[in-house]
Structure 1
Amino acid sequence: MLTIHLPTLINTNDHVRIQASFETEAGSQELWFSVPNTYSAYLLENRGDAFLVGLLLLAMKNGWDIKINCPISERLYYTLTNYLIKALHLAMPHLKEINLFPKELDSSQVEQAKGVGTGFSGGVDSFFTIYEHLHSTCPESFRLTHFVYHNVGSHGDFGGDATRALFRKRLELVKPFAEEIQLPLIEIDSNISEILQMDYVPTHTIRNAAAILVLQGLFRYYYYSSGRQFKDFELSPTIGASYDILSLNMLSTESLDFFSAGSAFSRFEKTEAITHYEPTYRHLNVCTSDAANCSVCPKCLRTQLTLETTGKLESYREVFDLQKYKNARSSYLAEVLATMHQDDYAAEIIKEMRLRGIEIPTAAYFRAPLLRSMHSLKQSGRKMLKKKNMRKEGS
């Protein structure tokens, strides 16, 4: 059994921390989320929604039922017990189905400021969400009012000092855009990564939703920028984004609705769309290798190749080192050709390059078969290792 207690607020200099102690057979710990003091009035001390969601994966990993010694959303209880827990078990069979035992179910709507938020990282998906929801055709009550920047795993799966330092470094990179368009940026720090000790990619949707649920007093709507399309829906054991359209609805409450923003569009379509949004020329940041764009990692190269295909690459010389890209272009194109039958992103880029008459170097075509063979060998090795591990687990 995992037991969650009523949250409390603790002021720490210019930030306020909302935390809840929880107990398991391993002892007592605390899960916390921290926001700037100016948002303390929007934190819910009398609801356990954020902590139930934040600890759900830990409980399922260990097969612990959850007892919640404080009120939780009635809708959230219903959707978790009837849908999401079962879906997570299907997606990741090592997560056990568990039961929830809340002290009280609350179906009332939280008094709130009717805010509309989205996470802002500076990447393609987040900029597309912003472009859609600051556009003149967006209904007024759905227009963005706030940006949020989290430390819940994207800067390091398992947390720690190095992860928090990278979070702070990257936070400084996203602030100028928020200041430029005059929307507040809320930083949310947490120890959820240290608590869960799980890979981030399969679990990111739930981690980020937990961070937003602490601010139900502020947000009515929250857009979670999706990295996958509707057509890619799958209960995947490795890619949590592949079923965002299910999990985000199941993580909503009577007061806060989550939306999987951008799910109707491909990555290429989103990249092309944001080229019409001039602030991206100065603020686009897609790199996962460093705080700023390194220009040569796979994600930087993919984005630059897409921008070149749209005819807009030169507009982004302020955020990418275009000479580094040109030096790596042929080798990267060989990689794209080698993986285009397994990677939707690669296939779409090659398709668009051919449709738009953009030349692919002969050297890339010559090198692609060797890379394809190398990828096949690696995949075979991974499959053999997986089978070996499964046999060990079954013995």
Structure 2
Amino acid sequence: MTIYVERTEQREEDGWAIFETAVHHPRLPDSLYFRTFSRYSDQISEESDAPALALLIPAMALGEDIHITTTVSEKLLRNLNGPVQTILLAIAPHLSHVKVIADPEPRPPHHGDGLVATGFSAGVDSFCTLTQYRPDDAPQGFGISFLTYNNVGSQGLSNTKDFIERYDRLNKKASKEGLELVPIDSNMDDFFQTCKDIDFVQTHSVRNSATALLLQKKTGRFLYSSAYPYSSTFVGKTCFIAHADPVFLPLLGTEAIEILPVGGRA
């Protein structure tokens, strides 16, 4: 049986801009959504790139192909059907190879005028990235423009109230750094409940990179804070996907946005 994925639709509701994609498969939820505060809606892409990446591991766990009824980045689609799955199968051999079917379409590049984002959890890795890529002290084109805080499964089961409370605490720290913190809430984790014997630390690079793809309308680079030094990089069976990040993350971007590991030299 194939997983059918429809075009992403946008709506406004109670101060949220919601980007929702209908998903058709009896073992999966009926829709995948991402949402952020309405004031950030102009930064969010309605393309199907984020849903395509977000649904890849659940599809591989079920052994079901994905058929997307609209376009996916030509670059991303090629990688999803090739090296991305090769790496994921090395990390978690019990997954299955699947086909991702969509109309390929190149995304317009930003030609150097795109924003730069990074995730922020107030952990050591986050502050390391902030220190190295402050807007006034970063290499040209790499100065951080804003931060993101994602609800994609890192906290286990999380309701909106808990997520907003954590966001408010982190936002105070982000404000002290002079940067806006953009929240991205999602029910993505519900789809990963079908994935037996695989958890957040084996999948976080995919989950968080899917939210980065949401930002490609205005963002040209997403800096992903490294968990390990480059010397710990390998592609193979592991409980920690971050070991593969230097090889893996650059494969998850599009023509419009790069997803780059940073901090691994430390």
Instruction: Quote how far apart the aligned CAs of 1:170 are.
Output: 2.1
Aligned mates of 1:243, 1:175 — CA distance in 2: 30
Q: Within the alignment, does 1:181 sit opposite 2:177 as a pair?
A: yes
* Gap regions ≥5 residues in structure 2: none
Amino acid at match of 1:116: V
Q: Please give the secondary structure, in 2, of the residue aligned with 1:153.
A: coil
Q: Within the alignment, does 1:196 sit opposite 2:200 as a pair?
A: no
Partner of 1:215: 215
Amino acid at match of 1:108: R
Instruction: Quote how far apart the aligned CAs of 1:236 are.
Output: 3.6
1:110/1:217 contact within 8 Å kept: no
Q: Please give the secondary structure, in 2, of the residue aligned with 1:142.
A: coil
Superposed CA offset, 1:139-161 (max 9, x none): 232100101001011111xx343
Partner of 1:108: 107
1:160/1:194 contact within 8 Å kept: no
Partner of 1:146: 146
CA gap of 1:111–1:223, structure 2 versus 1, over 3 A, is closer
1:146/1:186 contact within 8 Å kept: yes
Name whichever structure is richer in strand by fraction.
2
Superposed CA offset, 1:58-107 (max 9, x none): 100000011111111000011121201111111101110111111x1111
Amino acid at match of 1:57: I
Tell me: higher relative CO, structure 1 or 2? Use CA pairs within 8 A at least 6 residues apart: 2
- Displaced runs of 4 or more, over 6 A: none
Partner of 1:55: 55
Partner of 1:250: 251
TM-score, normalised to structure 1, is 0.63
Amino acid at match of 1:255: A
Amino acid at match of 2:173: F
Superposed CA offset, 1:162-217 (max 9, x none): xx444323222211122123211100100011221151110001000111211111
Partner of 1:206: 206
Aligned mates of 1:249, 1:36 — CA distance in 2: 28
5 Å matches for 1:261-300?
261-265=262-266
Aligned mates of 2:237, 2:135 — CA distance in 1: 33
Partner of 2:24: 23
Instruction: Quote how far apart the aligned CAs of 1:111 are.
Output: 6.1
Q: Please give the secondary structure, in 2, of the residue aligned with 1:122.
A: coil
Q: Please give the secondary structure, in 1, of the residue aligned with 2:141.
A: helix
- Name the larger-Rg structure: 1
Amino acid at match of 1:252: G
TM-score, normalised to structure 2, is 0.92
5 Å matches for 1:27-176?
29-45=30-46, 47-102=47-102, 104-109=103-108, 114-134=114-134, 136-156=136-156, 159-161=157-159, 164-176=160-172
Partner of 1:287: none
2:125/2:226 contact within 8 Å kept: yes
* Gap regions ≥5 residues in structure 1: 266-395
Superposed CA offset, 1:225-247 (max 9, x none): 11011111123431011111122
Partner of 1:334: none
Partner of 2:229: 229
Q: CA RMSD in A?
A: 1.8
Amino acid at match of 2:36: V
Instruction: Quote how far apart the aligned CAs of 1:54 are.
Output: 0.6
Name whichever structure is richer in helix by fraction.
1
Aligned mates of 1:243, 1:20 — CA distance in 2: 29
2:137/2:143 contact within 8 Å kept: no
Amino acid at match of 2:189: S
Instruction: Quote how far apart the aligned CAs of 1:110 are.
Output: 5.4
Aligned mates of 1:245, 1:165 — CA distance in 2: 34
